[in-house]
């Protein structure tokens, strides 16, 4: 990096070399006449075995060289527990330490983005970009034999993008029983989930390269060795951006560059001829806006930061998928990832993986299901749904809430995502990192059923705690602050009892009279289900919405071209711009939004 000329202005400066930032940098630097700089706080760990090996992801969490390791404020609706939020602190961002799940949003969900005032952001407009980022590989025969995959459409969205999307060869009887059990509940998938209309259980794909059995992520895909050779693309790692430099001499503040803090603590300024693009993520893009003087007047003045653009919506409207984790002891013959607690087993699997990429360490065996509103009696009727929502009418007045209400009322949209996770989950009141959630501490072997609320009504916040960029922002997700979220989650937890009933294919894999976590709590009624939520809900690491793409008067921070209101030449491109949390795991949508944003930026450059 010493040979890089930082004095010479760049055309585009991208703040954050994560999932979205590297997409933007790759696509903009396709034009050799454009000079692009990416500034990443973490290091380049794209050849690190812990990052590349899918099964060793737990080794990343809580370590400063990989993970920002954010903690929430205590959550009143969760027994005042603190919730961990792992965020990737390296090239590739959170795509470098996620669980590699590749799911797709629903049509109604993304169409709701457009309905909130975002022209050009309906499902059909985003669909080409959901194809563009990925190369989808044909399922291996073993996957078809075990999981059916009759719904998988070989002709749909194959793509030739930088991210590899595959089915695993390691599925087992738990995956098969999961699919059969949901089918028995009237929730069998009949259409490919990628078409935006799926309901029921299905075997999801993962972002794993089928040849090397390694993680396929933004750094390996969008910043490949070939891309890294581009003379017009510079990536500066282990460098913080402390603020955006704004020229306030004209009618509107104009972004002209950024101030950086080097690894050695030295401050420098870097110029951007065309645009500054913030891709620092949901918890840090608003932090940089606030440090730059864009945000709530009260918050900025509290930290003695001059107010350049007043917008109290910066850092507000934060959404996150709440996830309730119930672990069930398995029968002696049922596979469980908890066996990896045995060093001999782990070492044997590491040896197998190192030799040929074979074995479970190179696979993802999580299964999923999308379902409408369900409870202990099964699928909830349209009348019962309307009655429940009507009883919370007073909390459903915003355009956001009305859009979500429509999704929950729809018989074609997924209120819940259920996950089959291959190990036990532990929930300490104050976790040191995400590793404490997923590393086995109980002596028995478990598998976990997870209940995710796809469309939370609650909104949280994230704001600076200091004028120093090195001080972590304060993240308050305000889980279940809208009490309707608790009502919905509890009903999903009640439904889990139907899945684990001893008469179902899935229930037959569990130990007769075995333990469950939380211990001694069975969701036989709504109140018990709510207590399970209070004890066992955490984050599924899908924070979004803190710089929402919406009309400014409705809480927007960016417009439909992702330009920051009240400024020129400044955009935000990452999950913080999502107006509504997408259905399912959000990795695919982050890639797609970044791909679309790159085209918008190219269009606007041609129009200059």
Cite the annotated binding site for FAD by residue number: 241
Distance from C-alpha of 210 to C-alpha of 229, rounded to nearest angstrom:
25
Distance from C-alpha of 279 to C-alpha of 21, rounded to nearest angstrom:
5
Distance from C-alpha of 472 to C-alpha of 168, rounded to nearest angstrom:
37
Q: Is the dihedral of CA 49, 573, 256, 599 positive or negative?
A: positive
Which residues 6+ apart lie within 8 Å of 382 measured at CB?
A: 409, 411
SS3 at position 479: coil
| Structure tokens, 355 | 């030799």
Q: Contact at 8 Å (CB) between 364 and 169?
A: no
Element (H, E) at 532: helix 526-536
Query: What count of other Cβ atoms lies within 10 Å of the Cβ of residue 172?
Result: 14
List the one residue out of 379, 390, 436 whose CA is nearest residue 413: 379
Q: Contact at 8 Å (CB) between 85 and 539?
A: yes
DSSP annotation of 362 reads G
Kindly list the distances between the CA atom of residue 426 and the CA atoms of 22, 195, 327, 436, 491, in Å, as whole numbers in the listed order.
34, 35, 9, 7, 22
Helix axes of 483-500 and 526-536: crossing angle, nearest 10 degrees: 100
Beta-strand ranges (E) seen in 519-559 are 537-539
Q: Output Rg (C-alpha) for the chain, integer angstroms.
A: 23
Which residues 6+ apart lie within 8 Å of 110 measured at CB?
A: 121, 122, 123, 126, 196, 582
What are phi and psi for residue 290, nearest 5 degrees? Answer: -65, -40
Distance from C-alpha of 517 to C-alpha of 329, rounded to nearest angstrom:
9
Q: Does residue 137 carry a catalytic annotation?
A: no
Beta-strand ranges (E) seen in 157-239 are 163-165, 200-202, 205-206, 233-236
SS3 at position 338: helix
Q: Contact at 8 Å (CB) between 555 and 316?
A: yes
Which residues 6+ apart lie within 8 Å of 208 measured at CB?
A: 54, 100, 164, 166, 168, 214, 215, 216, 362, 363, 364
Kindly list the distances between the CA atom of residue 362 and the CA atoms of 150, 207, 350, 354, 457, in Å, as whole numbers in the listed order.
24, 11, 10, 10, 37
Helix axes of 107-115 and 123-132: crossing angle, nearest 10 degrees: 120
Terminal alpha carbon distance of the chain: 31
Length of the chain: 608
CA dihedral 467, 471, 294, 307 (to 10 degrees): -20
What are phi and psi for residue 54, nearest 5 degrees? Answer: -55, -40
- Which residues does the annotation mark as catalytic? 542
């Amino acid at each position: 990096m010493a040979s890089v000329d930082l004095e010479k202005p760049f055309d585009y400066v991208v703040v954050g070399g994560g999932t979205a930032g590297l997409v933007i940098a790759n696509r903009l630097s396709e034009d050799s006449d454009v000079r692009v700089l990416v500034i990443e706080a973490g290091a380049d760990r794209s050849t690190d075995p812990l990052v590349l090996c899918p099964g060793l992801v737990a080794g990343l969490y809580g370590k400063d060289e990989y993970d920002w390791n954010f903690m929430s404020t205590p959550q009143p609706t969760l027994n005042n527990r603190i919730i961990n939020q792992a965020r990737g602190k390296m090239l590739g961002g959170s795509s470098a330490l996620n669980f590699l799940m590749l799911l797709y949003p629903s049509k109604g969900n993304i169409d709701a983005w457009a309905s909130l005032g975002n022209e050009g952001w309906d499902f059909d407009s985003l669909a080409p970009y959901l194809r563009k980022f990925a190369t989808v590989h044909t399922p291996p025969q073993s996957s078809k034999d075990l999981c059916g995959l009759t719904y998988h459409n070989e002709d749909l969205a194959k793509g030739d993008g930088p991210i590899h999307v595959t089915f695993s060869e390691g599925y087992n009887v738990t995956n098969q029983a999961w699919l059969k059990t949901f089918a028995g509940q009237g929730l069998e998938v009949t259409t490919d989930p990628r078409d935006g209309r799926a309901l029921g259980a299905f075997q999801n794909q993962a972002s794993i390269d089928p040849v090397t059995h390694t993680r396929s992520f933004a750094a390996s895909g969008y910043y490949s060795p070939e891309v890294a050779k581009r003379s017009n693309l510079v990536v500066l790692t282990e460098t913080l951006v402390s603020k955006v430099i704004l020229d306030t001499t004209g009618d509107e503040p104009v972004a002209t560059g950024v101030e950086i803090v080097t690894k050695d603590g030295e401050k420098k300024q870097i110029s951007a001829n065309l645009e500054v693009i913030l891709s620092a993520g949901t918890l840090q893009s608003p932090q940089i806006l606030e440090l730059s003087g864009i945000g709530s007047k009260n918050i900025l003045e509290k930290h003695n930061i001059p107010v350049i653009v007043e917008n109290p919506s910066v850092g507000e409207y934060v959404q996150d998928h709440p996830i309730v984790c119930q672990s069930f002891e398995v029968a002696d013959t049922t596979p469980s990832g908890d066996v990896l607690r045995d060093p001999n087993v782990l070492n044997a699997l590491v040896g197998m993986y190192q030799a040929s990429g074979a074995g479970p360490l190179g696979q993802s065996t999580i299964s999923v299901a999308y379902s409408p509103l369900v409870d202990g009696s099964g699928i909830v009727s349209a009348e019962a749904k309307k009655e429940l929502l009507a009883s919370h009418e007073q909390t459903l007045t915003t355009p956001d809430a009305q859009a979500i209400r429509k999704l929950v009322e729809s018989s074609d949209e997924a209120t819940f995502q259920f996950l089959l996770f291959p190990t036990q989950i532990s929930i300490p009141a104050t976790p040191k990192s995400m590793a404490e959630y997923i590393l086995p501490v109980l002596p028995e072997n478990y598998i976990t059923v997870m209940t995710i609320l796809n469309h939370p009504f609650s909104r949280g916040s994230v704001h600076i705690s200091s004028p120093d960029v090195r001080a972590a922002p304060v993240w308050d997700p305000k889980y279940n602050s809208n009490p309707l979220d608790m009502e919905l989650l509890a009903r999903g937890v009640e439904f889990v009892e139907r899945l684990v009933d001893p008469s179902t294919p899935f229930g037959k894999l569990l130990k007769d009279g075995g333990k469950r976590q939380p211990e001694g709590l069975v969701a036989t009624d709504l109140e018990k289900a709510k207590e399970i939520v209070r004890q066992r809900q955490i984050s599924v690491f899908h924070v979004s919405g803190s710089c929402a793409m919406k009309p400014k008067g409705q809480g927007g921070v960016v417009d439909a071209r992702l330009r920051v209101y009240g400024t020129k030449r400044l955009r935000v491109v990452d999950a913080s711009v999502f107006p509504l949390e997408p259905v399912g795991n959000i990795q695919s949508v982050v890639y797609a939004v970044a791909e679309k944003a790159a085209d918008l930026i190219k269009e606007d450059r041609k129009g200059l």
